[in-house]
Chains A and B, each alone.
Chain A
Amino acid sequence: MGASIPNYLTNNITIINYEASNLKSLNNSLKYLGQNPLVTSDIKEIENSDKIILPGVGSFLTGMTSLKKFKIDQLIKKKFIENKSIIFGICLGLQLFFKSSEEKKITKGMGIFQGKVERFSGKLKVPHMGFNNVKYPPNSKLFKDIPQNSDFYFANSFRVKYENTYSGISSVTTYGENFISAIEYKNLFGTQFHPEKSHKYGLKILENFIKFNA
């Protein structure tokens, strides 16, 4: 495929396996970027990781139930408060950072951010499926060296509405309404889209994450 494979000194990356995700694609892309991620639900192994990825497909309710079962929700909140490790949520993984979701039934999330996860409103087709452009805030670490308004791959029926209070920490994407397509705040990062499925700029996001200093 032309692109040379970067080979960074690996500070350990862990993908949380909480029975609510399809991990193969993510694993493939990190391997392509020269990483050898640990895939685990073991709380001690996650605790000791410099970088943690919280992936996720499926419903918010199932995801949150699994996180609680492994006590991973408490660990992520603790790591956020102590500003330790870098945490990256993808798709449902990002949504779980928020206060609640109305998917299937009202379910509490980790509540790190105040927004609510709701179904897309308006007349457009749901799911929001395919590549869509992302407008990221100035000085974004996640989108470093990526052109503004590049396209990334989305596959979601639920979203958090963008409000001005998120200005500076959130990327915006428009699908009938403005919603949060990525977030970065202290040691917490997340994307509503799938970087591992978003061609070269998606891989660039993962590369930026790999290069962050823990």
Chain B
Amino acid sequence: MLKKRLIFSLLYNDGYFCLSRNFRLQKIGDYKWLIDNYGFYNIYNAIDELIILNVSRDKKNTEKFYKVLELITANFYIPISIGGGIKNIKQVDDYFNLGADKIIINSELKNIKLINEISSKYGAQAIIGSIDFSLLKKKAFFINNGKTEVESFEDYKKFLNKLDIGELMFNSIDFDGTGQGLDINFYNKNCKDFNKPILISGGVGKTEHIYEGLKLDFVNGVVTANLLNFVKDGLIKSRIILQKKLENIVMRST
């Protein structure tokens, strides 16, 4: 049986790991904080995959980010996906050389030339398409850190189903960082008929929220980026509860 996935996402911004609320960032701590205070390497036993997103506005100063990536990827023997502002194949090569197994594309999903280049070099399974949406103004999908709106909802859905990539990750801008639970209504209405694995995120604040997401039969994984709600052994405790409630999750001896 294919198992459901609990995925943790790190948001990196100019040297710091961050909390995000409705896509506004709050700095929490640097790599040393992550290791010393968060006990970051303990989460290795609690999660199935790791995501690292570089949300820095200044993309030129990559050296520091690359160093952090190298440290983290050398210690995690589970799939690692890296993303944030990927614009060209050079960045993609860098990320794979630094230990990525998959890369995350958001703004450049419409850049078919780049998508084809990545999929022929690393395979379509190595691309996660990231989709941000907001229902507050109207039903809309966004790219470019939630700033640029793209076409209609139904058209974008058709486009995504045809795209030669491995999986889709949805993130609710409205629920992001609120800790009040995932937008289950949206996913139930809109994500049932995709032909690719579906990951959902935005709003996870406690274990119950992860459970609500994972028990949807069309959902393959739930992503949380909430550094503070799961600090120290928080994710380990969540895992133990999830393993009791779900039969289709990998049983880890935590």
Question: Which residues of A does B touch, CB under 8 Å?
Answer: 1, 22, 24-25, 28-29, 31-32, 57-59, 62, 125-133, 151, 153, 155-157, 174-175, 194, 196-200, 202-203
Contact = CB atoms under 8 A, between A and B. Distances in A.
A57 B126 contact: yes
Contacts of B79: 153, 155, 194, 197
Interface string B111-124: 00000000011111
Contacts of B252: 199
B48 interface: yes
B23 interface: no
A59 B116 CA distance: 12
A141 B195 CA distance: 37
B3 A131 contact: yes
Contact of B74 (A28, A133, A155): A28
B77 A130 contact: no
A203 B77 CA distance: 8
B183 interface: no
A153 B78 contact: yes
Contact of B77 (A32, A59, A175): A32
Contacts of A199: 44, 77-78, 250, 252
Given A1-B44, A58-B122, A129-B220, A24 B73 contact: yes
B190 interface: no
Interface in B14-66: 41, 44, 48
Contacts of B97: 24
Interface residues of B, number: 39
A129 B122 contact: no
A175 B44 contact: no
B39 to A, nearest CB: 12
Closest 5 interchain pairs by CB? Answer: A155-B125, A131-B3, A127-B125, A151-B250, A57-B123
B101 A22 contact: yes
Nearest to A20: B121
Interface of B: 1-5, 41, 44, 48, 73-75, 77-80, 96-102, 120-126, 166-167, 194-197, 220-221, 250, 252
A129 B221 CA distance: 10
A199 B46 CA distance: 11
B221 A130 contact: yes
B48 A131 contact: yes
A1 B101 CA distance: 20
Contacts of B77: 28-29, 32, 196-200, 202-203
A125 B166 contact: no
Contacts of A22: 96, 100-101, 122, 126
Interface centre among B2, B99, B122, B196 (most CB of A within 10 A): B2
A1 B41 contact: yes
A95 B127 CA distance: 21
Contacts of A157: 124-125
Contacts of B196: 125-127
Given A1-B75, A29-B77, A130-B2, A58 B98 contact: no
Contact of B197 (A58, A125, A156): A125
A129 B167 contact: yes
19 contacts: A1-B75, A22-B100, A24-B96, A24-B97, A24-B98, A25-B101, A32-B77, A57-B126, A126-B196, A127-B196, A129-B220, A130-B3, A130-B4, A132-B3, A155-B79, A155-B123, A194-B79, A198-B77, A202-B77
Given A24-B97, A125-B194, A155-B101, 20 more contacts: A1-B75, A25-B73, A25-B80, A28-B74, A57-B126, A59-B120, A62-B120, A125-B220, A127-B166, A127-B197, A129-B220, A130-B5, A130-B220, A131-B5, A132-B1, A133-B3, A194-B79, A197-B77, A197-B101, A199-B77
